[in-house]
Amino acid sequence: MRVLVTGGAGFIGSHIVAALTAGGHEPVVLDALLPSAHPVPPPRPAPGARWFHADVRDAAALAPALRGVDAVCHQAAMVGLGKDVADTPAYVSCNDLGTATLLAAMAEAGVPDLLLAGSMVVYGEGRYDCGAHGRVVPGPRDPADLAAGRFEPRCPRCGDALAPGLVGEDAPADPRNVYAATKLAQEHLAAAWARATGGRAVSLRYHNVYGPGMPRDTPYAGVASFFRSSLARGEAPRVFEDGRQRRDFVHVRDVAAANVLALAALPGRPPGSFRAYNTGSGTPHTIAEAATALATAHGGPDPVVTGDYRLGDVRHITASSARLRAELGWRPEVDFAAGMADFAHAPQRATAADVSADVSGDAALAAGGGRR
């Protein structure tokens, strides 16, 4: 199988390229290699692999990259919560315009199968149950509550404490920040493309992916990268809120394996179909547990719980990956303790901040720039 991997030089993309190569497939890499994401050119993933140095928003560059391709694994995106609302145009351009341009090029080239890097952020807050009212959907958290250190969502009907649970793929979408809105829009675009062309699309809704090769010292990386970057500088990881936020940390090698399985299964799906799969370890952990595991394995210093917060963050989001396990036979192999211990000493990718203090976060963080 020949697979175009957009953002194939990035964190997750490069692991997918390696997994495809190991499985006997032929990856084709497309990446903008923008200096803000790749100040040091990354090594080529495999001898003789086809490379296209291009942005997914460049329709003319996509045509040769798609020639002879059986499927597209679309990893190129601008990720993370970002810094502020000024990032909105960059997120929409990179994620949504980039995806729309890619889908149009796929239709022109007759490429029938798409695997999309989705995200658990489309759910907003996770699943909650009230002892008196059953399943409920809490609204956005009140800034006054956050400022007062009241971080847990409350039942919108009675105000009682809620019990967080696992979200299934059929839960209503509820994006609560700009990044989340763009990830949901990507799925809608993919579903519309599949219906219009008879193509087949799958979205793997990644949870908190971590592992070797994460970028360091950037506001657009995941929380595990923040903690690891602090430890590399000899600083204590700074944990927001009270550290009890629940997340599902899944190792990048397991995510790459899920991509290979999903790509192989795409030709067997019905034409015109779209299917989403949660992609997580299945074992929730708190943010503080992740920071502590990394600090302990790294040799300190211990994490500091700051009480700080960001309005776009949700409190708890963990989801069931039972559908992915049942339908595709995927099983994560790297457990939390072993994965965090390995990541505590694993190399991280250099970022523009390591090369020049003058580089700011803007649209150059980019579609096709391998931010994943």
- Positions marked catalytic: 179
| Residue pair 239/306 in contact by the 8 Å Cβ criterion | yes
- Classified as helix, coil or strand, 314 is coil
How far CA 130 is from CA of 150, 174, 240, in Å, comes to: 17, 19, 25
Place of tokens 């923008």: 34
Which among 126, 124, 123, 122 has a CA at the least distance from the CA of 183?
122
Determine the Cα–Cα distance for residues 274 and 290; give it in Å rounded to an integer: 33
Do 106 and 128 touch, CB atoms closer than 8 A? no
The CA distance from 309 to 322, in Å, is 31
Under DSSP, the state recorded for 364 is: G
Look-up: residue for tokens 């970057």?
229
Distances (CA, A) of 128 to 152, 156, 316: 11, 11, 9
Q: How far is CA 205 from CA 92, 320, 356, in A?
A: 18, 11, 33
The residue written with tokens 């299945």 in the block is 282
E-strand spans in the chain?
2-6, 26-31, 50-53, 71-74, 113-119, 127-130, 134-136, 163-167, 200-206, 208-210, 238-239, 246-247, 249-251, 273-279, 285-286, 304-305, 318-319
Distance of CA 45 to the CA centre of its chain: 21
Helix (H) / strand (E) element for 59: namely helix 59-66
C-alpha triplet 31, 32, 36: angle, nearest 5°: 120
